[in-house]
Amino acid sequence: MAVRLLGLFVIAAIFVAVAVVPALAQQFPNVANLKPFSAEAGFMSLPGYLRWLVFQQTGQWITYAEAARVVAEQLRTAGR
Confidence band for 1, pLDDT divided at 50, 70 and 90: confident
Domain total of the chain? 1
48-53: average pLDDT: 98
pLDDT of residue 34: 97
- Taking Cα atoms as reference points, which of 48, 65, 64, 57 lies closest to residue 26? 57
Higher per-residue confidence, 24 vs 32: 32
What are the angstrom distances between the C-alpha of 18 and each of 11, 24, 36? 11, 11, 35
pTM: predicted TM-score of the whole model, two decimal places: 0.67
Which range of residues forms the domain containing residue 35? 2-77
